[in-house]
Structure 1
Amino acid sequence: TAAVEVLEALGYRVEIPQEFVCCGLTWHSTGQLDMTRRVLEHTAKVMRPYLDRGLPIIGVEPSCTVMLNSEATELSPNPDLARLAQATVPFSEFIVPRIKEQVDAGKIVPGDVSALTQVHCHEKSLGDPSQSAQLLDALGVDEEHIATGCCGLAGNWGFEKGHAEVSMALGERELFPRVREATEEGKLVIADGFSCRTQIEQGTGTAAKHIAEIVRDVLKGQPQAGQKARD
């Protein structure tokens, strides 16, 4: 809902498909390629009317966005999937030009906030995390990144039998200690990936925020954790 609120605040009318749509990653990550193709082709069929109207498709979850942008077209020659791939834009990339314009025009007052960011593995390897970095910078968010990469959950892998201990150990390399430290210091913790937020909450008890929630709160002028002290 935060992403919808932000887009509407920026003057867009948001339409959400009423039928089942999915990027197919759930099946793709476990090697069920035939099922992945069926899911993707159904999604393409549902999205066809929106594509025919030339609407941009806004991706909020990094793994879903990357799946639609790059991997979906490798699994099926469906022409609507190619159109969907071209139309799908990550949330941050879509709004950052408008946010910068409004900041420059004085319509948005940047905050003065410190944050720790966990970039999703898919976004880091196949996407463009620099768009989110530009967005946070425009909004006055001073961020640091987790350097070690994967949170350790890796989709459903960390939930599978025999993987939990390794999953938590991967989180303890850097992510969990840094999140605990950031929380103690009152910093925001940002993680756009659902799996990353799940892992962070299970490993530290901290509820990380999606970047859309940060943007929404700045637009509303709401005070946030991580707000720096002012003289």
Structure 2
Amino acid sequence: DDEYYEVKQLVFDDRTVRNLLKLFNKGTLDDITWIISSGKESVVLAGRGTGTEVAVKIHRVHTANFGRYLDYIVGDHRFVPVRDREKLVYLWAKKEFRNLKRMWDSGVNVPRPIDIAGNIVVMEFIGEGSVPAPLLREVEELENPREVRDLILEDVKRCYVKAGLVHGDLSEYNLMYWRGRPWMIDVSQAVVLEHPLSYSLLLRDLERVINFFKRRYGLNSTDAREVAEGLVRERSRLEGDQGTDT
């Protein structure tokens, strides 16, 4: 159909096909079954690998937002900025994979990272039967919105204090809701705490989450700055304790 043709034309260039073949040859992928979403910078496909459902995120090379990517890469000591478009997109995909792994290892509720090849990241599929879980904004009614909000804030805390990362674009558009829990997605832009924008991004993430639940469910407003400063203090205490141990 038209959507498949568009995705095929814009995503399945020679480089992407080679990267997909690597994943098939390694046994990471057995099949690609469905197009989940198609955006300007990436396409997400449903697939199967090692007997389970997976999500296959393909970062587009030709339509990558060069300036936006660099804003989040410059200042992140884990990566060296590049000016070549293809190399930058590969770096962006690598950043997403490493952020997912760091969050997952710290107990943050994110899709489990599985594999990476060039501009393609394979991760756990959140949903069932090739049908993705809804975004938080698409859920008509939550049984216990306060509990869901607090679970998100707890994940923001784990992300900051344990993983040493700030999501950087957290909102009802980048949170899925599945089996009673929220899931953080789209973590390519997540930055380390040493990044010059980390605190302002943390504050923006908190404000968006808090304001969404206040606007839609009428929850009493929690002060985002107070929460952010509490996380900074807790992270500082943790670093101090680790310094004492060494």
TM-score of the superposed pair, with normalisation by structure 2: 0.28
Please state which structure has a larger fraction of its residues in helix: 1
TM-score of the superposed pair, with normalisation by structure 1: 0.29
Please state which structure has a larger fraction of its residues in strand: 2
Q: Taking CA–CA contacts closer than 8 Å with sequence separation of 6 or more, which of the two structures ends up with the larger relative contact order? A: 1
